[in-house]
Structure 1
């Protein structure tokens, strides 16, 4: 099953917690909002989702 990384930039406060916890450096901050810097590195571990206090990022299962 493939997993997608979903970002809600309008909910992001730019705290960088998700950036700090990402083990593969997939995420970064631009103009005080989260963005996916390199989706190819994402292992869908969910640490970003777990640590985000604003629920601005999550991993979604993609059913085929």
Structure 2
């Protein structure tokens, strides 16, 4: 199963919270105890168990392109599913 790694540009985030509602596993939350340089509460990744699937919905919905998602696929999963996806 694929996992995701989310990178958030907290300085540019305006705290709209669209990403938190778009995230299927619910690993994004607003940092209500923190303000960025622009005076907004930025989004924060809270994923200690590694539930992020790397779907990228948060990055797609972010109006300011503050989120980048990297999808990490294990070598074992790639080897098993690679040929099937390639049509071999």
Higher relative contact order, structure no. (Cα contacts within 8 Å, ≥ 6 residues apart): 1
Gaps of 5+ in 1: none
Aligned to 1:46: 56
TM-score by length of 2: 0.62
Q: Secondary structure at the match of 2:24?
A: coil
Partner in structure 2 of residue 34 of structure 1: 43
Change (3 A) 1:27 1:3: closer
Q: Supply the distance in 1 between the matched residues of 2:43 and 2:63 (Cα, whole angstroms).
A: 13
Q: Distance in 2 between matches of 1:28 and 1:61?
A: 20
Runs of 4+ in 1 over 3 A off after TM superposition: none
Unpaired runs of at least 5, structure 2:
33-40, 73-88
Farther-moved stretch of structure 1 (18-27 vs 2-11):
2-11
C-alpha distance in structure 2 between counterparts of 1:2 and 1:24, whole Å: 11
| Alignment match, 1:14 | 15
Name the Cα RMSD after superposition: 1.8
The residue that corresponds to 2:85 in the other structure is none
> Secondary structure of the equivalent of 1:24?
coil
Structure 1 position 60 matched with structure 2 position 61: no
Report the number of matched residues: 62
